[in-house]
Structure 1
Amino acid sequence: MFQGFPLAVLSPALIPETPVTGVVFDSRAVQPGYVFVALQGGSVDGHRFIADAVERGASAVVGMQAGLEPGVPYVQVVEPREALAYLSAAFYDYPARQMTVVGVTGTDGKTTTSNLIYHMLLAGRKWAGMISTVNAQIGSETLDTGFHVTTPEAPEVQRYLARMVAAGLTHVVLESTSHGLAQHRVSACEFDVAVVTNITHEHLDYHGNYEAYRAAKARLFTSLSETSVKAQGNPRLAVLNCDDRSYSYLQAVTSARQVGYSLRADAGADLWAEDIHYDASGLHFWAVSRDFRVKIDSHLVGAFNIANILAALSACVFGLGIAPEDAAEGVRQLAAIPGRMERIDLGQDFTAIVDFAHTPFALESALRAAREMTQGRVIAIFGSAGLRDRQKRRMMAEVSAKLADFTVLTAEDPRTESLDDILEEMAQAARDTGGVEGETFWRVADRRAALRAGVALARPGDVVMACGKGHEQSMCFGTVEYPWDDRTALRSALAEHLGVEGPSMPLLPEV
């Protein structure tokens, strides 16, 4: 397994010629013959659990601490997380080398763009799979990838890829978060095409500053030059957003072939949009390059989705050989994405939407999209997560105070922080932006009551938007994840409002 290992080994050990039966980083998951990789994180040090892993039957241990003698072969490396990725890839016989791999990163729009590329590949008659923060799609099988939104850990990613190879798939779209890139969850994924949506304000609690966050995203692009030569060829294409502040930086650090996309014809991009218009059915525009012009009709809404469509088109047409007309058909076939501007309709006389918007830019985009959909009022319901980037709290409240007619501030994964304190920070920002508590914005700590309040405010023709949770299936209070789905909860609130049958409102702890 360590043959051809691409990382420096500080303290090599003789690994006996016994079959490795698995690679894990959780000692509780060790079975006889497994390699245990000890990860050193912010709150948990995996080296503390080496003895437990050995007792459970680990055949070898990998870690970063020197001088350990656990009683089985011990390999010291500089970065155990990176080692975990390459060991997992080796265990599954490097599945990414047997497929064309498209990576999609960015602050907002990753899941939508990944889905668009996936549908374009299918329309172009490619055998494609997808691993997103929502699910993994392997042929006709859909697998849940977790409660909260981040890239799965490296062993799981490699297991999905191996299943795709076994299923005969030739292409895979892999949504790559900044955590996934920084923590090497997608290392050894042998990317052929890298796509960025945008890089705005997000995850600064983890990365420290925008520059570090941007550098984490850039790993997707610099990795193109490291991809192994594949029998099916190497596109090695970087797809960049000419309208985003990240453009110049990514253009400079990427040595691979590049194409750019833009909403503007005068931006010098390789692909741009013309004749944009919106109606009740969605988006309509022409995607134009120097070589082709194709009509795009999409069920998606909002100007931000034009950029997502252009990003996907650029990857598929310039990098993967999909005909523009087939790519356009893939766009048309994508009806909706769970929790992304998803309409909830129980026959009410106003529009109800659940959207994942959980960053200032995404919330602004969602609210502007709502304005395009109605002549009525826009009612926004959202919160801000505890133990995460605090700057977002003020920024999102300011955005809503400016763009929504009414705002309901509520719980959104407060974790171990005081929910009252989070809401006060947001309320102060709303007041500073001209909001009047009790008239243009409210604090309703219980998200169930907040959704009911938003629905009660609505008049015919209005838009009610529940933002921040999207497709997620839980909400964290303290250290406990409680089952929660905004779509179910909003349906319940609508059913109560209309006096019709509907799902029960999910339970939450008292706040």
Structure 2
Amino acid sequence: MHLIKLLEAIEEINVNRDSTMIDIHITGIAVDSRKVEKGNLFIAISGYETDGHKYIEDAVKRGAVAVIGEHQTINTTVPLFIVKNSREALGKISSMFYNYPSKKHKVIGITGTNGKTTTSYLLKHILEAAGKSCSLIGTVSYIINGEVYKPTNTTPDALQIQTLLSKSEDEFFIMEISSHALKQSRIEGIGLDYGIFTNLSHDHLDYHETMEQYFEDKSIMFNHLKEDGKAIINEICPWGKRLAKKLHIPIRTLGSQSFEVHNEDNKKDGYHGCILKDIQLQGKVNFTLCMNGENYKIFYPFPGLHNIYNAAIAFLTAVEMGIEPMVVIKALASFRGAPGRFEIIHHPSGAIFVVDYAHTKDAFEHCLNSAKQQGAKRITHIFGFRGARDSSKRVDMVKTSAKHCDAVLLTLDDLNGVSENEISEELVNLNLYHCRGKGKVQLDRTLAIQQAWETAEEGDWVFITGKGLEEYDREFTLPARSDKEVILLLKENDKTEEKII
């Protein structure tokens, strides 16, 4: 595409030097100078760890024929264009370069503190059960045209998203959209058909600073709905209710009581979503959704109120897409879960081990309560904290775990540049002051899991949370790379011992 055409995507732009080459042909776009190819447009991004403006000269040497950046003082031999925000420019230009690929899909964006991954896999499962093809990008993996790719981020950068949207031939395209991605303009240039809000609770305040700012940053997603796009909001969460009142677009809500009309768009169609009622959490989980005057009883294979919320919001979204309710109900009953999200592994004794990504106080509450509702005799919780991340939530997380559990094992998560000694000291203090005498510190994560495995008895529930399927960032004693691998290794060793006996 010609550069002069691409520049039309940007509203405010200044040419920093006389350019007679503005009508040159652009072969591709790059934000990493190491990936520049001949004929590329290089867009310099001011990152949080490094500044792309430092690599403009390298990009030009590698073949970049034009540069977009934010600094007026840049000196380069190729045409240079100055914008206020390189991230926004990247999204808009990438979208135009790939011929606005979000237009060829039904695009579903999912945001919220918890439940994004499970809800995305639920919707993919429902859509495929209805005979639809579906791509997905999120924390666990990117799935495009049936091919699975290892993710770079929950929400990749704008260039990668537009590339994946262009590559996908699937009818539907589901995206987990993180608050970081929204604040960093990674979904700029994308139009959403459906925007789903799952919930909001204390998290990432090292980045967003306050809950109010976190809420505002999450709300950005709904500025990217297509002209006929709809918001799907869990209004049972108080922040969801605030969001529904804030937006002036068509809204569908999941509620626990009668509907509240929030804007003129909802008044026009007289339909506002569905009501969740008659929840059964003990034993075989089931609940009822009231929608358009009809009651739908749903049986769901995963315990816990949080899992019911995810299933209900997926039901509402799928029916809004035009999928028959009975098809959705059948699909929910056959769902086998999202990788690393409330993933259950059975211990030979009859104990239940759960690998989950839970890393907030609210997520802990839901997970641990689900075990109580299923009649757990004893609950053990293994978790840690990531270095250089939101430390303000840690005390509440430990207090919540100690409140609901019989045993708490504090261990290492990713260090993220923080020393092991510093994390160790904090874990010792958290255990001393907030674990109610129920806690221990075992820095080796694999040995913490092994300790729980070797002492597990029938009726026990053991939760290993915080990482899901993520790989460890260091080697531990047992030869495994993730929490699930540790459990499977221990389980396999048990089988081997049984054979010997």
TM-score between both structures, scaled by the size of structure 2: 0.89
**Alignment size in residue pairs:** 479
Counterpart of 1:277?
Answer: 280
Counterpart of 2:482?
Answer: 485
1:306 aligns to 2:297 (yes or no): no
| Cα distance in 2, alignment partners of residues 453 and 7 from structure 1 | 60
1:161 aligns to 2:165 (yes or no): yes
Counterpart of 1:105?
Answer: 111
Counterpart of 1:256?
Answer: 249
| Cα distance in 2, alignment partners of residues 261 and 495 from structure 1 | 43
Contact 2:349 2:456 survives alignment (8 Å)? no
Once the two structures are superposed, residues 98-149 of structure 1 have per-residue CA deviations (whole angstroms, 9 ceiling, x without a partner) of 1121110000000111112222222333332222221122233222213xx5
Contact 2:431 2:441 survives alignment (8 Å)? no
What SS is found at the alignment partner of 2:218?
helix
Please state how far the C-alpha of 1:293 moved relative to its aligned partner: 2.0
Please state how far the C-alpha of 1:431 moved relative to its aligned partner: 4.0
| Closer/same/farther in 2, CA of residues 151 and 82 from structure 1, 3 Å limit | same
1:177-196, aligned counterparts within 5 Å? Answer: 177-196=178-197
- Which amino acid is 2:164 matched to? Y
Displaced runs of 4+ in structure 1, greater than 6 A?
Answer: none
Please state how far the C-alpha of 1:499 moved relative to its aligned partner: 5.1
| Closer/same/farther in 2, CA of residues 496 and 395 from structure 1, 3 Å limit | farther
| Closer/same/farther in 2, CA of residues 118 and 76 from structure 1, 3 Å limit | same
1:89 aligns to 2:86 (yes or no): no
Contact 1:150 1:179 survives alignment (8 Å)? no
| Cα distance in 2, alignment partners of residues 348 and 457 from structure 1 | 10
| Cα distance in 2, alignment partners of residues 48 and 399 from structure 1 | 45
1:120 corresponds to which of 126, 147, 164: 126
Counterpart of 1:8?
Answer: 12
2:141 corresponds to which of 99, 111, 135: 135
1:43-82, aligned counterparts within 5 Å? Answer: 43-82=49-88
What SS is found at the alignment partner of 2:238?
coil
| Closer/same/farther in 2, CA of residues 291 and 129 from structure 1, 3 Å limit | farther
What SS is found at the alignment partner of 2:59?
helix
What SS is found at the alignment partner of 1:459?
coil
What SS is found at the alignment partner of 1:78?
coil
Once the two structures are superposed, residues 449-488 of structure 1 have per-residue CA deviations (whole angstroms, 9 ceiling, x without a partner) of 11112223322210111111102134269xxxx9832110
Please state how far the C-alpha of 1:36 moved relative to its aligned partner: 1.1
Q: Percent identity?
A: 31
1:424-503, aligned counterparts within 5 Å? Answer: 424-433=425-434, 435-436=436-437, 440-475=438-473, 484-496=481-493, 500=497
Contact 2:427 2:441 survives alignment (8 Å)? no
| Closer/same/farther in 2, CA of residues 173 and 243 from structure 1, 3 Å limit | same
1:239 corresponds to which of 210, 232, 236: 232
| Cα distance in 2, alignment partners of residues 183 and 483 from structure 1 | 34
Counterpart of 1:508?
Answer: none
| Closer/same/farther in 2, CA of residues 426 and 36 from structure 1, 3 Å limit | same
| Closer/same/farther in 2, CA of residues 483 and 78 from structure 1, 3 Å limit | farther
| Closer/same/farther in 2, CA of residues 501 and 250 from structure 1, 3 Å limit | farther
Please state how far the C-alpha of 1:34 moved relative to its aligned partner: 1.3
What SS is found at the alignment partner of 1:387?
coil
Contact 1:222 1:255 survives alignment (8 Å)? no
Contact 1:11 1:77 survives alignment (8 Å)? no
| Closer/same/farther in 2, CA of residues 206 and 152 from structure 1, 3 Å limit | same
Once the two structures are superposed, residues 289-309 of structure 1 have per-residue CA deviations (whole angstroms, 9 ceiling, x without a partner) of 233222222222211011111
Once the two structures are superposed, residues 312-365 of structure 1 have per-residue CA deviations (whole angstroms, 9 ceiling, x without a partner) of 1222223x2222222222322321210011012363421111111111211221
| Closer/same/farther in 2, CA of residues 88 and 296 from structure 1, 3 Å limit | same
| Cα distance in 2, alignment partners of residues 501 and 423 from structure 1 | 37
| Cα distance in 2, alignment partners of residues 79 and 486 from structure 1 | 40
| Cα distance in 2, alignment partners of residues 246 and 7 from structure 1 | 33
Contact 2:190 2:224 survives alignment (8 Å)? no
| Cα distance in 2, alignment partners of residues 20 and 172 from structure 1 | 27
| Closer/same/farther in 2, CA of residues 261 and 17 from structure 1, 3 Å limit | same
- Which amino acid is 1:484 matched to? R
| Cα distance in 2, alignment partners of residues 55 and 449 from structure 1 | 50
1:307-456, aligned counterparts within 5 Å? Answer: 307-318=309-320, 320-345=321-346, 347-433=348-434, 435-436=436-437, 440-456=438-454
| Closer/same/farther in 2, CA of residues 456 and 346 from structure 1, 3 Å limit | closer
What SS is found at the alignment partner of 1:335?
coil
Contact 1:222 1:254 survives alignment (8 Å)? no
TM-score between both structures, scaled by the size of structure 1: 0.88
What SS is found at the alignment partner of 2:56?
helix
Counterpart of 1:21?
Answer: 27
| Cα distance in 2, alignment partners of residues 338 and 375 from structure 1 | 23
Unaligned ranges ≥5, structure 1 = 503-511
What SS is found at the alignment partner of 2:346?
coil
Counterpart of 1:506?
Answer: none
Once the two structures are superposed, residues 146-181 of structure 1 have per-residue CA deviations (whole angstroms, 9 ceiling, x without a partner) of 3xx5211212111111111xx2x2221111011111
Please state how far the C-alpha of 1:7 moved relative to its aligned partner: 3.6
- Which amino acid is 1:160 matched to? L
